[in-house]
A and B are shown apart, each in its own frame.
Chain A
Amino acid sequence: MRTLFVILLVGVFFALCAPFQEPRAQEAVAEAVRFEAVDIYVDSGDRPLAAYQFELTAKKGKIAIVGIEGGDHPAFKEPPYYDPAALQNDRIIIAAFSTRPDLPKNRIRVARIHVEVTGEVEPEYVVTLTVAASAQGERIPATATVSRGAEE
């Protein structure tokens, strides 16, 4: 009877300690790491694009965002706004606006995101355009797309 009691206590102890244990040894095995650039394009059609905000996440793969650059057009050349907490994360919200008179139209690259990819699973990125606005601050219809750049 005492043996049963001791076995039960030991079992309870290990069951409670399990969530706090360190990751398994096999997870510690080094995985392949590579870097890639992810370009985000916004297409506002024939309406000048003055502001945008989108969210990027990775549906598949293990990624970590390591850097953000601005876009091609002078209106969005400067690095956009983002939460520094998104670095080393797999999710980021990026936004920018411009009060310049010359604003881009149609499809333009608004940002380039540098990503660290770990493992063999190819990342699948999902971009969600939250808002796009004209120079008057009015919401305009637009689409956002992702294009994976060359591996670095």
Chain B
Amino acid sequence: MNLSAFLHTSLYEDHGMSIMGKQGKAEPEEPKQLAEDLAALYAPDLPVPPDVDRAIIATARERFARRRRPRLVLRWAPVGALAAAAAIVLFLVPTLLLKPRHQASRERAVTAKIAAKEDIDQDGRVDILDAFALARHIESSREFFGEWDMNGDGSVDDTDVEVIARAAVSLERSSVQ
């Protein structure tokens, strides 16, 4: 007889049980005492205070919440990326593209202010007629106005005519007029 069979037999004998069935077969029958003992042994007879119970539940919830956060991040990641892309397109690209235009318009505005000085015939624009008018003035030695001194050298001469003529053919200035 091996150890397992020995223990089995001893256990049943200790509790006054027969290991023989109705037809003489060796079938185990659960003794009442054993069932009671086993129930007493595994019964949760330790009372759990409500505070401990709540603390355990809170801890469990917190852990479950931690597990859910990465899933939330993954779920909203494409939406966030799309929003970031839209923000880049809306703000960065227009800034890059429109900035030179703003600068150009500012430069044109400055150029337009200068243009008034070179508008000798005061027709509202600078063209070759302004240079021609000043050239004719110089040739006829008529009275000069200080404001016709375009290059600021203290005299009105052919170099001032050149300044006006160059302004007249300026491509940048022409886009203002």
Across the interface, A97 reaches (CB within 8 A) one of B78, B121, B131, B171, namely B131
Q: Are A95 and B172 also in contact (CB < 8 A) when A53-B127, A133-B132 are?
A: no
Assess the A97–B135 pair: CB atoms within 8 A: yes
Assess the A97–B77 pair: CB atoms within 8 A: no
Residue of B nearest to A20 (CB): B96
Q: Are A16 and B88 also in contact (CB < 8 A) when A5-B81, A81-B128, A83-B169 are?
A: yes
C-alpha spacing A50/B131, complex, angstroms: 12
Assess the A9–B81 pair: CB atoms within 8 A: yes
Assess the A81–B174 pair: CB atoms within 8 A: no
Assess the A99–B136 pair: CB atoms within 8 A: yes
Assess the A50–B132 pair: CB atoms within 8 A: yes
Assess the B170–A83 pair: CB atoms within 8 A: yes
C-alpha spacing A8/B83, complex, angstroms: 11
Q: Are A95 and B169 also in contact (CB < 8 A) when A2-B74, A130-B127 are?
A: yes
Given A4-B78, A97-B165, A99-B139, 8 extra CB contacts under 8 A: A2-B77, A5-B77, A81-B128, A81-B131, A82-B169, A83-B171, A85-B172, A97-B131
User: Residues of B at under 8 Å CB distance from A?
Assistant: 74-75, 77-78, 81-82, 84-85, 88-89, 92-93, 121, 127-129, 131-133, 135-136, 139, 165-166, 168-172, 174
**16 A-B contact pairs sorted by A residue (CB < 8 Å):** A8-B82, A51-B132, A53-B128, A83-B171, A89-B171, A94-B169, A95-B128, A95-B131, A95-B169, A97-B128, A97-B135, A131-B127, A131-B128, A131-B129, A133-B128, A133-B129
